[in-house]
Amino acid sequence: MTARSRMRTGLVAGASFAAMLGAGVAAAQETVLKVNHVASANTPVQVCLEVMEGYMERASGNRFDVQVYPAAQLGNFRQSVESVQLGSLELTFTTGGGISNLFGPIQAFDIPYLLKNDRVVNKVMEDPELNEMLNNDVLEALQTVRMVGMSGNHGWRSFFIDKGPTANLPDDWQGKKIRTIESPISMELATAVGLSPTPIPWQELYTSLATGIVYGTKNSLMDIIAMDFQQYLKYLFRDQHTYIMFFWWMHDPYLQGLKPELQTVFVDGMDRLKATCTGYFEAYTLPFYKQFAEAGGEIYNPTAEQRQFLLKGQEAVEKWYADQFGTKYPDAIRAAVKRADEAIAREDMRVLGKAAMR
C-alpha cells in the first residue's frame, strides 16, 4: 500500500468487494511492516521506500504488507526510534543527529571533512567493519533496535551565504552570523572558522534571511531549493563539510521473528532501497543547480589553502567529541575511509591502467 493511499481519508468505494476478498488477502499478507519517516511524500526517500515496498510485496507473493507513512505521521525522529524500540513501529530512519539523544557516539559521522567525496561516502556506508560495530553498539545500548543499513539521500552540507566573496578567510567571515541548529558540533564548526553561530528554528529561517538577521546557513542544496531560500542566499561556498547520511533502524525482535524466506526478502528489499537512494538522488537534484543559477546563485569551490584553514573546524569539533565520547568512532570512520581510498585506487587502476590524479 502506498503512502498516497494511506493519506486519504473517508474512501469507502469498493468496500463490499474488499470484504468479499478479505479472507484471501489476510491469508496472503502474513505480516505488516510499518515504516514512518519525517520527509514529505514528494521527496527521494519516499521513492526509495516505494521501490522497497513494491519489491518486498512482489517477491513475497504479498506475504508482506509494507505500509509507508511519510511526513512524520507517526512521529518525529525521536518518537519514531522509540516506537521501533517498543515494537509499535517496525522500521524508520534518522540522521545521526536524529538519534544522538539516544546514542551520542553516532555524532562522529558529523565531524566535518572526514569524508572526501561521493565515492568514498558510498563505500564507507557499505563498510562491513563499520556497520558491524555501529550495529552492535546500538543494539547493546537500545536492546531492541538494529541498524539495517545506511544510505544517502540528501547530499552534502555546505555554507550558503547572502553574497561573496570569500577569498580571505577568516577575515571575510569574521563575526558574521550563520544559522545553525542547537548542536555543539554545528556550533563548534562555525566558531572555529570565524563565524558567529546563531541557532534558529528551521521554520523561522526564511524570515531571518529576509530581514538580515543571519548571513547564511549550513545546509544542502536540496534544503535551500525546497524552502526557496535562493531568493536570499546567492553564494554556495561548496566545502561539503558533512554528508547527510540516513541510518535505518528496525525492531530486532520483529526481524528475528520473520520466517527465513521473509528475512531474505527483507534484506534484498533493503538493498534495493539503498541502491535507489544513492542513484535517484543525483537525478532528482539536477534541476536544483539550474534553479540556483537562475536565481543569481554562484558556486565557489574552496582553494587548497582555504581547505587547510577549514580543518580548524574539524579540530574543534573533534576535540569536543573526544571529550564526550572518546576516539573509537572517529578512528573507525578514518579506517573505513582508508579502506575506501584503497578500493577506489584499485578501481581507477583497472579503468585507467594507471593511478588517477587525486
pLDDT, tens digit (0-9, with 9 covering 90-100), for 285-298? 999 999 999 999 99
Domain that holds residue 176: 3-352
**Statement: residue 11 has pLDDT above 50:** no
Domain annotation covers residue 146? yes
pTM of the prediction?
A: 0.90
Residue 27 is assigned to a structural domain of this protein:
yes
The answer as to whether 333 is a domain residue is yes
pLDDT in tens, 97-140: 999 999 999 999 999 999 999 999 999 999 999 999 999 999 99
**What's the number of domains the chain is made of?**
1
CA 221 to chain centre: 13
Q: Is residue 358 in some structural domain?
A: no
Q: What is the CATH number of the domain that holds 98?
A: 3.40.190.170
Q: Is position 241 within any domain?
A: yes
Indicate whether 284 belongs to any domain: yes
Q: Which residues, listed in sequence order, are joined to residue 177 by a DSSP beta bridge?
A: 196
Helical (H) or strand (E) element with 346: helix 328-352
pLDDT over 50 at 284, yes or no: yes
Tell me whether residue 357 is in a domain: no
Q: Give the HSE-up count for residue 153: Cα atoms under 13 Å, Cβ half-sphere.
A: 24
**Rounded Cα distance, 87 and 286, in Å:** 38
**Is residue 315 in a domain?**
yes
CB 247 within 8 A of CB 95: yes
Structure confidence at residue 282 (pLDDT):
85
How would you class 108 by CB atoms within 10 Å of its CB: exposed for 0-12, middle for 13-18, buried for 19 or more? buried
